[in-house]
Structure 1
């Protein structure tokens, strides 16, 4: 972008006998890739994880209550082998009672009911089993998945060290268990005189790499 001197400054330079102006510039590059390959994710049971009905007396008053960690079968089918990552977008953002969890919705207008975490295990592709990888920096670096719960903002992918570095690898068909662990906040912080819904919701996104 060319930079211009203010009008008054330009006039002063001209009276000094200078009639030449040096131009400064920098370049902008707009880049990207349009891929013809499409990957379609699908979840068993319509993507619903139902923890059933819990009595208030079965929940902990002074500590959180873990409801369990069931899993859903996730499949990702691509038109051709493609490198991709998965990201879960929290549709109940700011409703989790802990920052490292996804939200379970608000009750009584402003009370945070609890939260849930997410994990993946038992990944297989058309070429056999594969490692689960996680990235906290949007795919710049990857590490093995060593915890059950991936925090919000984490990208998940599937790969190995075939390139010499731990990286996602091209996959055509993926099958993996997606584990959802739900937690209810301590009940002495909640008003539970009426039935309230466990209302977690999120969107699983495929990110092409």
Structure 2
């Protein structure tokens, strides 16, 4: 078996060398686009959601505990009409999931909880709009209210959700839904912080 692997490796190596000699040059292209306008996102309340102190005795054993929902106002202001999108990054990704943001850990490696983000009542330049998402970097779009970490989100008209629209002023209510996993097995003998953190980036399309 070892001889066979050695021969195979040698054959592959020879093939790589022959391919390298066959192409003596290759091109590298560096592309991009500098936009003349910039957009700035702002969150009301400094973007801080504070649930205060929670009693360990009030947490459910065997079932999740859902905390009161909060809403912050998010505004994106651009210097001129600009085609832009938004991307959310989970800064606690190890304790999150593909669709939710993490709240850190308890007991060292047990996930403490999660929070979801939702777009509500988006308004672009004074007109009712719709939030849309792209999972293929802007090639295709579909309606979506849940602001997941990772995908690219943008704003469209309610009538045509297949393409994003340019705008100068976006106002949207950002709803935060937070939960704690079932407390069974959690060591809550000391204070445990809810340690959620997300970054919202403006992406120029």
Is 1:155 aligned to 2:145, yes or no? no
Alignment-derived partner of residue 13 in structure 1? none
Q: Indicate the RMSD between aligned Cα atoms, in angstroms.
A: 2.5
Alignment-derived partner of residue 48 in structure 2? 48
- Distance in 1, Cα, partners of 2:100 & 2:161: 30
Rg (Cα) greater in structure: 1
Q: Which of 163, 166, 171 is matched with 1:175 structurally?
A: 171
Alignment of 1:18-33 (within 5 A): 27-33=27-33
Task: Say which SS state the counterpart of residue 141 (structure 1) adopts.
Answer: coil
Q: Is the 8 A contact 1:160 1:166 kept in 2?
A: no
Distance 1:34 1:23, change over 3 A: same
Is 1:188 aligned to 2:184, yes or no? yes
- Distance in 1, Cα, partners of 2:23 & 2:72: 61
Alignment-derived partner of residue 67 in structure 1? 67
Is 1:135 aligned to 2:134, yes or no? yes
Q: Cα offset for 1:30?
A: 2.5
Q: Is the 8 A contact 1:161 1:167 kept in 2?
A: no
Q: Is the 8 A contact 1:84 1:208 kept in 2?
A: yes
- Distance in 2, Cα, partners of 1:198 & 1:65: 13
Task: Say which SS state the counterpart of residue 57 (structure 2) adopts.
Answer: helix
- Name the structure with the higher helix share: 2
Distance 1:24 1:112, change over 3 A: same
Deviations 1:116-155 (A, max 9, x none): 111101111224111111122222211111x5x3332122
- Distance in 1, Cα, partners of 2:132 & 2:68: 23
TM-score, normalised to structure 2's length?
A: 0.82
- The answer for unaligned runs of 5 or more in structure 2 is 1-16
Q: How many correspondences in the alignment?
A: 188
Q: Cα offset for 1:76?
A: 0.4
- Distance in 1, Cα, partners of 2:24 & 2:89: 42
Q: Cα offset for 1:73?
A: 0.1
TM-score, normalised to structure 1's length?
A: 0.80
- Distance in 1, Cα, partners of 2:109 & 2:87: 27
Q: Is the 8 A contact 1:118 1:151 kept in 2?
A: yes
Q: Cα offset for 1:165?
A: 6.7
Task: Say which SS state the counterpart of residue 30 (structure 1) adopts.
Answer: coil
Task: Say which SS state the counterpart of residue 187 (structure 1) adopts.
Answer: coil
Deviations 1:17-62 (A, max 9, x none): xxxxx87766443221011210000000010011222212221110
Distance 1:30 1:99, change over 3 A: closer
